[in-house]
Chain A
Amino acid sequence: MIDPLIHAALLMTTPILLAAIGGLVNRVGGIVNIGLESMMLTGALVAVIVSADTGSVMLALFAALVAGGIVGLLMSRVVTRLAANEIIVGLGFSVAVAGLVRFLLKSVYGVSGTFNPPGVVMLPRIDIPVIADVPILGAILSGQDPLTWFAWAMVPVTAFVLARTRLGLRLRAAGSAETTARALGLDPLAIRDASTVFAGAMSGLAGAHLSIGVVGLFNEGITGGRGFIALAAFYFGRNRPWRTALGALLFGFFEALQIRLQGRGVPAELVQMLPYLIVILVLTGLGLANRRRSGSSS
């Protein structure tokens, strides 16, 4: 009873977590990425196409990663080189890419909405003998796909890189102390671009997880606002990798729960509201705490 729910929650968490880590790094580097959804959508489509064409999961993942990264680079260049507002550009990319994807589906593949080419190879599941039979632990560790393992491995890696390495320090400098970074001979705009490319690549993988990890086809609504849930996750996590992962897990759990509760009198729409509501509450709590702190010091 509880095992399938745990398993489903982890499966739902993976795409949110991948994109949220990307968005977190991007935000530390100085850009709030509202366009994660568009990069996810690109990755989802590219993964299905390449998987069906080549029969190779590795190639499909690589293509999704590159495609997401390219969308990220385009978005970033507009923001950093043309001094455009990142929020509007992010929304613009969300609108334009969603339109472009549907346009190409109709125009090139002659399908509307769902694209289900023959021969899509799905992500494998890694079953771990012995542990698979242990209740709860088996549901957590066994039968997950490689991207889920990768996503969770990226949490400590990101935490370490941000806190303990030169790369992390430079990224933080580019985000919060642009002039200092420049004075030190760094190129903050290039660092920022790199962080957006990373966010795009991670979101591309997130999209690939949805299309060739979960369902095995592409649908125009496949991302279903998960790019924005990822945004909610790293706002929830306040730029800390582990807290962001907790947020992603929480939102993944809500999603799994909502699917289970369907037809049992709990309206799906109300459960779907929760991630967004929680973020507003978290931001309110932070605001209150900040005010109290500044109030006591003055």
Chain B
Amino acid sequence: MIRAALANLAAAALPFVLALAIGAIVLAVTGHDPISVYALMASEAFGGTRRIAATLTATTPLLLTGLATAIAFRAGVFNVGIEGCFYLGGLAAATLGFWLVGWPAIAIIPVALLAGALIGGAWMVAPATLKVRLGVDEVVTTLMLNFIAINLTSWLVNGPLLARGSANSATPAIEKAAELPRLLPPSTLHLGFIISLALVILYGFWDRFTVTGFRSRLVGLNARFCRAVGIDVPSLLFRMMILSGLIGGLAGAIHALGLVHRFVAGFSPGYGFTGIAVALLGRNSALGMILAALVFGALASSGATIQLFSDVPIEIVEVLQGTVMIFAVAKLGLLLRDRRGLA
């Protein structure tokens, strides 16, 4: 039992280990010492309360984009459109955050978060309908919708929603009451972390103990079987895709109210795409995704500071993130089989 769990953990960690190895090669070739760089990154991510708080702040959006992706993926829907939902949710929440002047925190925060989630869900109605009604491949539609959302929001903050007197593409700052409370001032860790963590844990229970949770996973495993036993597969897929969009929008809303306190062009440095890596690395399980989000959060927060303390460019983090994504879907066991076959 314990051995099986350990083997599982080792298998799940393998993509990350391989990515670190490739990153080490890149570092070594360019004249950096990989071990000292990784040691510095580890201490920057987890050395002391303030650093841990920074890591948890960076983990927050990834928990939810990972969750949003996992909800779709486990039902067999390849929704790669969370990035777009994140942008739209962020813009909606930030806009309400500066429009609803004078509202108390207890009203403005839930309203803004809800609006962000709803617009994320609404954004997925078109690709979900196209998929279940007309069989249009959701990968292409959701991917294309990302670029549409990014351009659309960037147009809105350059024109109609641009802060007065501001030259750069940003909305005005949100009302003080709309800001999510900080948990550990002076660090930027905010209430959004608790909300996100709670939602992922809730998902873990939903996944294991509810009928819908079970059915949607079953649809991902074997849609034909589900149809045969009378599960309404199209309606389930539709709902899962909308749910995934809702959470993607909520992720953006939390990011806007909790950390950025406005919406700016280039709002997300690819949180939606990193969310895909989180879901894959965490194998759609709640605990797995929390660990994976933590790993990517640590990479992001340490990347931002290693640049200050060493001459290692922050982009090494992107190299690691991309490589983890690649290895997370590769069936690495086949490598061993190939070698045996040759011998």
Contact = CB atoms under 8 A, between A and B. Distances in A.
Interface in A241-274: 267, 269-270, 272-273
Interface residues of B, number: 54
B152 A99 contact: no
Which of A32, A92, A106, A270 gathers most chain B CB within 10 Å? Answer: A92
Contact of A287 (B32, B130, B148, B335): B130
A192 B324 CA distance: 24
B221 to A, nearest CB: 16
Contact of A270 (B145, B151, B270, B316): B151
B31 to A, nearest CB: 8
Nearest to B326: A92
A107 interface: yes
Contact of B145 (A96, A225, A276, A286): A276
B340 interface: no
Interface stretch (A56-64, A130-138, A161-169, A277-285): A277-285
Given A81-B334, A92-B326, A103-B315, A287 B135 contact: yes
Interface string A87-98: 111011111111
Given A81-B338, A88-B280, A225-B147, A273 B322 contact: no
A228 interface: yes
Interface string B114-154: 00000000000010001001111101110111011001101
A290 B321 contact: no
B326 A93 contact: yes
A3 to B, nearest CB: 29
A288 interface: yes
B44 to A, nearest CB: 18
Nearest to A99: B318
Contacts of B47: none
Contacts of B324: 92
Nearest to A291: B134
A286 B134 CA distance: 9
Contacts of A89: 325-326, 329-330
Given A96-B318, A283-B130, A273 B329 contact: no
Given A280-B145, A283-B141, A95 B134 contact: no
A95 B322 contact: yes
A269 B80 contact: no
A96 B321 contact: yes
A218 interface: no
B77 to A, nearest CB: 12
Contact of A102 (B141, B144, B315, B338): B315
A291 B130 CA distance: 12
B147 A273 contact: yes
B87 interface: no
B276 interface: yes
A179 interface: no
Contact of A273 (B30, B31, B151): B151
Given A91-B273, A273-B148, A291-B133, 7 more contacts: A82-B332, A92-B325, A102-B313, A102-B315, A103-B26, A107-B31, A272-B151
Enumerate the 8 nearest inter-chain pairs by beta-carbon distance, A residue then B residue, closest first: A96-B322, A99-B318, A287-B134, A92-B325, A95-B322, A269-B155, A92-B326, A82-B330
20 contacts: A83-B331, A87-B80, A88-B280, A88-B329, A89-B330, A92-B325, A92-B326, A95-B321, A97-B322, A99-B317, A100-B318, A102-B313, A107-B30, A270-B151, A272-B151, A273-B147, A273-B148, A276-B147, A286-B136, A288-B134
